[in-house]
Amino acid sequence: MSTYILSHDIGTTGDKATLFSSEGKLVAKAFSAYPTYYPKAGWAEQDALDYWGAFCAATRELLDSSGCAPGEIAAVSFSGHMMAALPIDRSLEPVRRAIIWADQRASLEASELAERVGPARAYRITGHRLSASYSAAKMLWIRENEPELFDRAAKFVQPKDFLALRLTGRVSTDFSDASGTNLLDLSSWRWSEEILEAAGLRAELLPELLEATDLAGRILAEPARECGLLAGTPVVIGGGDGACATYGAGVAAEGDAYLCLGTSTWIACASGRPLIDPEERTFTFALFRKGLYMPTGTMQAGGGSLQWLKEVFSGGGAPYDALEQEAAATPPGSEGLLFLPYLMGERSPWWNPDARGCFIGLSMVHARRHLLRAVMEGVAYNMRTIADAFAEQGLRFASYRIMGGGSRSAAWRQIFADVLERPVTPLDFAEEATSVGAAIAGGVGVGLFRSLPEACRIVRLGQACEPDEPSLPVYRRRYAAFLSAYRSLVPVFPMLARDEP
Amino acid sequence: MRDLLCGIDVGTNGVKAMLFDAAGGVKGEGRAEYPTAHPAPGWAEQLPEDWWTALCRATRRMIESSGAEPGRVGGIAVSAQAPTLIALDGDGEPVRPALIWMDRRADREAERVGRSLEAAGLHALTGNRPDSFYVAAKILWLKEREPDRFRRTRRFLQINGYLGYRLSGRFSLDTVHAGLLQLRAWPGGSWIPELMALCGVESGQFPDVSAPHEIVGEVSERASVDCGLEVGTPVLAGTVDGAAAAIEAGAVLPGAAAEMTGTSTVLLMPNAGAATEPSFIAMPHAVPGAYLLLGAMSSTGASLRWFRDELGAEAVASARARGIDPYEALAEEAAASPPGSNGVLFLPYMMGERSPLWNSNARGLFFGMTLGTKRSDLVRSILEGTAYALRHNVEVARTAGVTLSELRSVGGGSRSPLWCQIKADVLGVPVHVPSSAGGAPFGDAVLVSMALGRCPDVPGYLARAVRIARSHLPNPAHRALYDERYRLFRELYEAVRGVFDRSAEAERDGRRQT
């Protein structure tokens, strides 16, 4: 009986392979790392053949450790990091390393393209600002700077797509991943002719568009030998990691929303329409199927701010867990201390690369526990600005699910519940949500699950954390102070950026 | 043979009595402490009797530790925390505990003092802005709030004047303290009738004003029994502690300013032109013909101590293991970050700020952090931020006509070569660190020497007696960077001061609601 779903999450640091039963039970996990290359400041590249190597290694390890026979795998499915430019030639071999999401080299190309399309127009078509982060600008950078390589490129794909084409010989992508390229028209669900024309790019350079639950094909004989799976095993294309995380949070119906507190920190929801914010504070991805959207606000350093503070605290004093207890016992509002969580500049809601992290209002009463609590509160205040931007556009949520490494902190969950003034519910698989989402796509794709909403029932929830009424007035005051502090500093940030090495 | 000089400093926490020989060598030392009472928020009181008891204990220990005959003491000068409200009745007994300098209860009375003269008149006439720090506002408080005690008051004294009275039976008031009453015309002039009338006092309630080095009496038989000094030992008028400390730091001539950094920083700027500036405290210097402009910052060393306690555990442990001062280990950590602290700026206003902002709502701020910011950047930014705040004071003083061509650095903060170098680089002047000669008591001893006619040329004497242990010259390579960072520091405060004000207001509202 073929009853297992093999989910591969192609992350920034490596491939996380997870085996789920058809009931949605997590059976086994394996991880295989690959390097990221940083040839220059602001550049970030990965070798697609490393993806393939990691895929084979993780698959074999998983089969070994679980004792699952290759014949029991009903489907292989993917989640992958998005916004890359990975050119492949006619024989489906990589032309160069993939320029990945973190790479910022294409800022010139992004602004030129924005000038030609019109920034507001591009936002309306793709749901995103035109920026160096997305695939289009990176493709243009290759055309400008490496014309011979560009000429050899037959298609540009995303990391997970490369594995699907390696396995099946068919070049395709799915709507959710395509919505991170700055090239997908979110209303027609086709590649945008308007933007392609403005960019001077041929439509043939882009892969065929599938729904995430569609079959990309079946595993061919040669790749089957390499990875240890059976030839003929169905391969479901899967989705971009954002969309997968959304289904992994069990968010599939309009009005459902969640917070992700990983290295990247965001609020997202499911919606029947793209969210076109006049201030362009948020952006919109596609979900697994045509017609379903994922309005999102991503901050640069949410979980990252806490990681940073731990680093600053390291080397002495109370252990971190004890400190977190103390932070939980510190009064809401951190006795007047504010943190602006802009250690990497900011995307949502400000889109200000010059913004920097600040502790404001420091006095002698403040101890380490106040610094820690202020960081947790500062991230929550910034998320509140994103939630408010959603609300202004008519997307109001009754509650949030919460996932990612940071969601394991009960203190932080309570702070989010209080600052957002909504119940916040953790997931059982807080850190496997993208893998769960990929498994959902795979299971629906091969008919193990009847529908996406039904598949989402495999997502298990923890105990909801309710807003604490008496704390709310304090947080409202401090949130107002947070906004006024940021606005006061806006003119000062660029002066600092000018001085930086 | 009255060859020894006795200097006594009466500080906020205790008395330090020291005995010096003619060359400035320390021959004996004694200390004693006393408590401060805070009966209500912002109130700070001490008992005159406690000062006297502590002085006697300190002088006895001083004599004992010196092994010298009390008869060798050529004279005594007392310097003191200032200014103070000491009200004595007709029997020379205090009518209530004294209100010391940090007592803020007379804020409203200070506003009335300010309004009593024509617009901007108070600063022009007295050299200082209206503030409950000065004695006039405190007298007005006594008159309004404790009229019975006020009516019983025959005489107002300062701490050195009170202790001089206990030592010799004679009342005195020195020129420096007289300048901080805020009842007399600046510089060193007559009583101002409008202010005397407002406070309900007459000039007869104050002793005649004497130069700090004037002998105003001699140790009485009764006092001798208590303090162990010989009957007949000359007692000087004495001075304010800051002025005595300035002498010890060699800050007497215009251009040679001194900064004392402990918990806070006091900037002492000698000048010949009786300069005034609303951001500073103006007073005569303890040496004739010189004046002092005094800037007081709130939490410089305190910010560094906060960092040590909250984020410096690693440095403290490393210091303990190596047997060095934790601050030295912190300085090593700071030295790992380059000038400019990799973009981090610190506003050192953790307890609000006095000079030159006078903003009790101001708070500390770390600005400009990135994921790459390390603890070393944070600690260096504190050293730099306090130096920028010092430069802010110096620039304000320059607008008041005070020149500053070098800075003497004294106090605990001067022990850090890195901090001194940062100050030199940020201010663009040499920073000299004198070997400690004993603090304010040394300055008092110089006054005794003057009184006995043994020190006709004070600057010349100080040039010989005050040895420079270390000098830090400004590094021209860092000039442009620090100039730019300093400008940003000023912009940053201007940008966030509204946030500080609104937060303070919201906090008050919040407290009212709960």
- Å from B474 to nearest chain A CA? 21
pLDDT of B275 over the 50 cut:
yes
Nearest-angstrom CA–CA distance, B175 and B192: 16
Residue A217 backbone zone (phi > 0: left; psi -120 to 50: alpha; other: beta): left
Contacts of A275 (CB under 8 A, 6+ apart): A127, A282, A284, A293, A295, A390, A393, A395
Residues of A in contact with B366 (CB under 8 A): 357-359, 362
| CATH 3.40.50.300 describes domain B4-237 | no
Confidence check: pLDDT of A71 > 60: yes
Q: Which of residues 357-396 of A touch B (CB under 8 A)?
A: 357-364, 366-368, 371
Q: What is the pLDDT of residues B148-202, one digit of tens each?
A: 999 999 999 999 999 999 999 999 999 999 999 999 999 978 999 999 999 999 9
In chain B, what are the domain boundaries?
4-237, 243-297+394-476, 301-386+482-513
Whether the Cβ atoms of residue A132 and residue A83 lie closer than 8 Å to each other: no
3-state SS class at A492:
coil
pLDDT given for residue A318 in this prediction: 65
Q: Answer yes or no: do B367 and A492 touch at CB < 8 A.
A: yes
Name the closest residue on chain A to residue B304, using Cα atoms: A364
Residue entry with tokens 């007073």: B283
Q: How far apart are CA A70 and CA A233, in angstroms?
A: 9
CB B151 within 8 A of CB B95: no
Pair A480, A333: CB distance under 8 Å: no
pLDDT-derived band at A457 (thresholds 50, 70, 90) equals confident
pLDDT at A161 over 80: yes
Measured distance CA(B255)–CA(B263) in Å, rounded = 25
Identify the DSSP state of B208: P
Shortest Cα distance, chain B CAs vs residue A480, angstroms: 10
> Per CATH, is B301-386+482-513 categorized as 3.30.420.40?
yes
Distance from CA of A340 to the nearest CA of B (A): 9
Joined together, the tokens standing for residue B223 give 């006092």
Q: Is the pLDDT of residue B74 over 60?
A: yes
- Please determine, for residue A215, whether its predicted confidence score (pLDDT) is greater than 60: yes
User: How large is the C-alpha radius of gyration of chain B?
Assistant: 23
Q: What is the pLDDT of residue B75?
A: 98
Q: Are A47 and A190 in contact (CB under 8 A)?
A: no
Q: Residue A107: exposed, middle, or buried by beta-carbon count in 10 A (0-12, 13-18, 19+)?
A: middle
* pLDDT value at residue A168: 98
CB distance B503–A481 less than 8 Å? yes
Torsion of CA A383, A389, A392, A395, to 10 degrees: -70
Compute the mean pLDDT over every residue in chain B, rounded to the nearest whole number. 95
| Confidence check: pLDDT of B106 > 90 | yes
Q: Which residue has the higher pLDDT, B437 or A402?
A: A402
User: How do residues A31-48 score in pLDDT, each as one tens digit?
Assistant: 999 999 999 888 999 999
- Nearest C-alpha in A relative to B343: A500
A472 to chain B, any CB pair closer than 8 A? The answer is no
Average pLDDT over residues B300-321: 94
Say whether residue A41 is in contact with chain B using an 8 A CB cutoff.
no
pLDDT at residue B509, rounded to an integer:
74
Nearest CA-CA distance, residue A29 and chain B, Å: 31
In the predicted structure, residue A483 carries a pLDDT above the cut 90: yes
Maximal CA-CA distance, chain B:
71
Confidence (pLDDT) at A255: 86
pLDDT band at residue A446, thresholds of 50, 70 and 90? very high
Nearest CB to B350 within list A313, A364, A496: A364
Q: B267: which 2 tokens?
A: 């900037």
pLDDT class of A254 with cuts at 50, 70, 90:
confident
Nearest-CA distance from A383 to chain B in Å?
Answer: 19
* Of the options 3.30.1360.170, 3.40.640.10, 3.90.1150.10, 3.30.420.40, the CATH number for the domain spanning B243-297+394-476: 3.30.420.40
* DSSP code for A101: T
Show residues of chain B in contact with A361, CB under 8 Å: 363-365, 499-500, 503
Provide, rounded to the nearest whole percent, the portion of chain B with pLDDT above 90.
Answer: 89
B316 touching chain A per CB within 8 A: yes
Q: In angstroms, rounded to a whole number, what is the distance separating the alpha carbons of residues B36 and B16? A: 17
Q: Answer whether residue B4 shows pLDDT above 70.
A: yes
B427 close to B259: Cβ distance less than 8 angstroms:
no
Interface subset of B 283-312, CB within 8 angstroms of A: 299, 302, 306, 310-312
Tell me how many degrees the CA angle A486-A488-A491 measures, rounded to the nearest 5.
Answer: 100
Q: What is the mean pLDDT of residues B79-91?
A: 97
The share of chain A scoring above pLDDT 70, in percent, equals 98
Looking at residue A498, what is its pLDDT? 63
Phi, psi of B307 (to 5 degrees): -60, -45
Question: Residue B409, CB half-sphere, CA atoms under 13 Å: how many?
Answer: 28
Integer Cα distance of A348 and A32 in angstroms: 32
pLDDT value at B514 more than 60: no
- Out of B365, B368, B502, closest to residue A496 by CB: B368
B111 three-class SS: helix
Among all chains, which residue has been given the structure tokens 């030639």? A89
Min Cα–Cα distance to chain A from B421, Å = 22
Q: Which residues of A435-453 are buried (b: 16+ CB within 10 A; e: fewer)?
A: bbbbbbbbbbbbebbeebe
Give DSSP secondary structure letters for A275-329.
Answer: ---TT--SEEEE-SSTT-EEEEEEESSSHHHHHHHHHHHTTSSS-HHHHHHHHHH
| Domains of chain A as residue ranges with CATH | 4-243 (3.30.420.40), 251-300+394-458 (3.30.420.40), 303-387+469-499 (3.30.420.40)
Asked if A495's CB is within 8 angstroms of B491's CB, the reply is yes
Tell me whether residues B365 and A362 touch, CB distance under 8 A.
yes
- Over range B139-151, report the average pLDDT: 98
- pLDDT number for residue B511: 66
Q: How many CB atoms lie within 10 A of CB A431?
A: 14
Residue A386 carries which side chain, given as an amino acid letter?
A: I
B-chain CB neighbours of A375 within 8 Å are none
The nearest CA of chain B is from the CA of A481 a distance in Å of: 7
Instruction: Give me the mean pLDDT over the A323-345 stretch.
Output: 93
CA dist A364 and A396 (Å) reads 40
Q: State the average pLDDT over residues A60-72.
A: 95
Question: Which of A309, A352, A363, A486 best tests the B interface by mutation, with the highest count of B CBs <10 A?
Answer: A363
* Gap from B395 CA to chain A (nearest CA, Å): 22
Contacts of B298 in chain A (CB under 8 A): none
What integer pLDDT is reported at residue B347 of this predicted model?
98
A105: distance to nearest CA of chain B, Å?
Answer: 20
Interface of B with A in 358-417 (CB under 8 A): 363-371, 373-375, 378
| Model pLDDT for residues B404-437, shown as the tens digit of each residue | 999 999 999 999 999 999 999 999 999 999 998 8
Of B198, B164, B161, which Cα lies nearest the Cα of B177? B161
**A-to-B residue pairs, Cβ atoms closer than 8 angstroms:** 126
Mutating which of B304, B311, B314, B345 best tests the A interface, going by the most A Cβ atoms within 10 A? B311
Model pLDDT, residue A501: 47
- Residue of B310, B495, B507 with shortest CB distance to A489: B495
DSSP A352: B
C-alpha distance from A430 to closest chain B C-alpha (Å): 24
Q: What percent of chain A has pLDDT over 90?
A: 86
CB contact under 8 Å between B495 and A488, yes or no, is: yes
Whole-number pLDDT of residue A357: 96
**Residue A197 reports pLDDT greater than 80:** yes
Could you say which DSSP state residue A404 is in?
S
If contacts are CB pairs under 8 Å, which of residues 468-487 in chain B contact chain A? 481, 484-485
- Specify the pLDDT at position B513: 58
Token pair of A191 as six digits: 């590649």
Contacts of B317 in chain A (CB under 8 A): 316
Among left, alpha and beta (phi > 0; psi -120 to 50; other), residue B50 is alpha
Which residues of chain A make contact with B500, given a CB cutoff of 8 A? 361
For residue A316, the model assigns a pLDDT of: 63
* Interface subset of B 492-511, CB within 8 angstroms of A: 492, 495-496, 498-500, 502-503, 506-507, 510
